[in-house]
Structure 1
């Protein structure tokens, strides 16, 4: 069930760019405003490869979710889900594992308002406002607990969220808490931008991190792959491990993207 318009949350200001809406515009969506479009155009003028990277991230999500479905996972918690887009987790699962349960979680009231308007949650979906900075409160949220049984194998999808946590200690603490709460036999999917891709323009990436549209704070650039790998401590990584997104189990016949020039890495880890 789709609605034409979402009721905007209290304090909503369409004159201020919103990260979720900026990405929505880059993906060809319509849930954005003039300020978002201006911000997106500035970013794409500086780094025209960004839309391609967003597309590759969606393709990685499809491959990772399909893999988890093959392993028998039927419960998914999408943390930092962003605005609804074609190829969202529940749509992937409708194709590969009908009947699966999905909890969409985001702390952005704009995302929550639009998601509630655009997604018919039904019995197997929940849309929850919670903050990844408090993983226990997020996972203990009554709306999540009413759908997801954390005593059974579950997948946590953490797409780029730790990229936005500039404090290294806080990011590591969040990752540890998520792994601790992951049930045995469960999986965590992690994606993160890195600054040490062999062929990437790391100076450009560092500048993007300083752009106010992407991140707030004092960090001058993204983490290295080694720093990101520590967020997966306690998990057994599914081969090929932590790699550029296009290199993670690409489907036969997919158009090739040079992994060494890709800024984002991803992995799927299992808790034994």
Structure 2
């Protein structure tokens, strides 16, 4: 897609887009000049961001393996982003062949690609929806075709909340999802923080203000991210830098704070 744009409703290639920027950082081709330019500006501020994109993808895979290991057979990924390697349905269905997975996003490019690629898999669906409209999300016919909310669900929000300011009431939206899934469900969240890199907060806010409106109350600290887990019980090791969350290789957890994204998984009781 790096050459010409497909015809997608409400699609603007002249403005940088978070999903396409992430695709670029992961080495994908579904991005445009504006996305690449924005990503390069981001890398000039914090070169480690490119590796953090990979860290996030690896964190999601470990989370899915853990949740599937608890007997959960259905997953909802909110603001899933563009398809990459080792997508949620691939990981889940390797472990549980009958696992059902729904990807939720409101970006037209993500939806187009997801429906073309991800929805080919039986038991996998794509829903146009937003974390900021949780009631619509859980009531979507495609969601209800695949997900039974009377049974435990793995609810994943790996890389979206960090872009949503408090004025949009993201805590309330996460709480709505928490209250509308079955007991024994799991909530997994990843979120960038600047506790160890406070000097990056101001330039990051200034940069992302160009594509994320009302960003003055972002970024959040670890304590503020912890609030998203209210009403749940975090599993070990709690809310930690994602390299430290049940790493496959303990050596990969060294200097974990350099990947300044925290993540956690909680059971909903």
TM range (shorter): over 0.9
Contact 2:166 2:217 in 1 (8 A): no
- CA deviation after TM superposition for structure 1 residue 257, in Å: 4.0
Which runs of no fewer than 5 residues in structure 1 stay unpaired? none
- CA deviation after TM superposition for structure 1 residue 225, in Å: 1.0
Cα distance change on mapping 1:167 and 1:221 into 2, 3 Å: closer
Matched, 1:207 2:203: yes
- CA deviation after TM superposition for structure 1 residue 91, in Å: 1.4
1:236 maps to which residue? 233
Matched, 1:259 2:253: no
Q: Which has the higher helix share?
A: 2
Matched, 1:118 2:117: yes
Q: TM-score, normalised by structure 2?
A: 0.92
Distance across 2 between alignment mates of 1:187 and 1:131 = 19
Alignment of 1:167-246 (within 5 A): 167=166, 170-196=169-195, 200-212=196-208, 215-219=212-216, 221-246=218-243
Moved more, 146-155 or 213-222: 213-222
Contact 2:132 2:168 in 1 (8 A): no
4+ residue stretches of structure 1 with deviation over 6 A?
A: none
Contact 1:206 1:220 in 2 (8 A): no
Cα distance change on mapping 1:148 and 1:85 into 2, 3 Å: same
Matched, 1:143 2:139: no
Which runs of no fewer than 5 residues in structure 2 stay unpaired? none
Contact 1:195 1:202 in 2 (8 A): yes
Output the aligned Cα RMSD.
1.9
2:164 maps to which residue? 165
Cα distance change on mapping 1:156 and 1:118 into 2, 3 Å: same
